[in-house]
Structure 1
């Protein structure tokens, strides 16, 4: 089996940053699976379709390519909320499973981050990390991220969004957000990026041994 690092966690917990850092450190390809759901939602919105149109959402998911994402657009705040709606659809999640598992099956291994990597996509991954942080911490991080990108950053509204997404992602019937039974939980509330990266690297090294 290839060496797969599965990283899960809620929005703005730091999982994406850690996944990119680990992928670079271990020279592994990286897939932010959240972009797949954001791209699906974006395709619907650009076509003027409703986010709850299951048939159109599945068609959009099946037509995705991993190489043509406009990350700046997809990482906008409105796309995160829209993606959470689309991701709650079992049919959409099913349409994207094979694409994600195919990426993880690369001979050299891979790093994938999302919300159901360790539980659904790669249940046999050698390393599973569940990254979390307090909602207030995550809202602060997202506000700073948006401000740096020149976007409006209303902390109160962002905190409300974070809590709504947590509730929706955790309560959905298909692949709800939760830590895999064998995942190591990493709380980054009081850690800066270097401290969090060192902790994540320690988890990986322990699993490799």
Structure 2
């Protein structure tokens, strides 16, 4: 089905028919207005869209247990007597994954510094390893001061990604106090 501004162009239709002769090309009446009409209908009733296929893999930066075989040459830190690598891409949803609107994914994290920084990334890669990969894009950061009365290794924070219609809502919640911070990102960029 061909819709949108150029759908009624006989030149575009002919070019598509020549390049893809095995496909049946359907051009509805008022094809140029189809996208606009769809946007107006969606604006009046957003509940019409119940799911979508993710155009990117979304995740956050974090630490991963150091493995000398796969992490050779990477910077590492010692946390609680164990070695970790920086800039690990913690996946929340993968590219081409089918998800419902308002789908939530939560992962628990333990801070390694007095300020918990939740850096949100996206990439076209299905299985990214590091946030420093050239295909990864930083979308935003949510910063939260951690508690000083509890050792860092004993603190747990839940990081939740909620995929709305056109937005990604990121929430970081202190599991002990219930205190939370939020960040809303536009997924249409």
TM range (shorter): under 0.3
Higher helix fraction: Structure 1 or Structure 2? 1
Larger Rg belongs to: 2
Bigger RCO of structures 1 and 2 (CA < 8 A, at least 6 apart): 1
TM-score scaled by length of structure 2: 0.21
Higher strand fraction: Structure 1 or Structure 2? 2
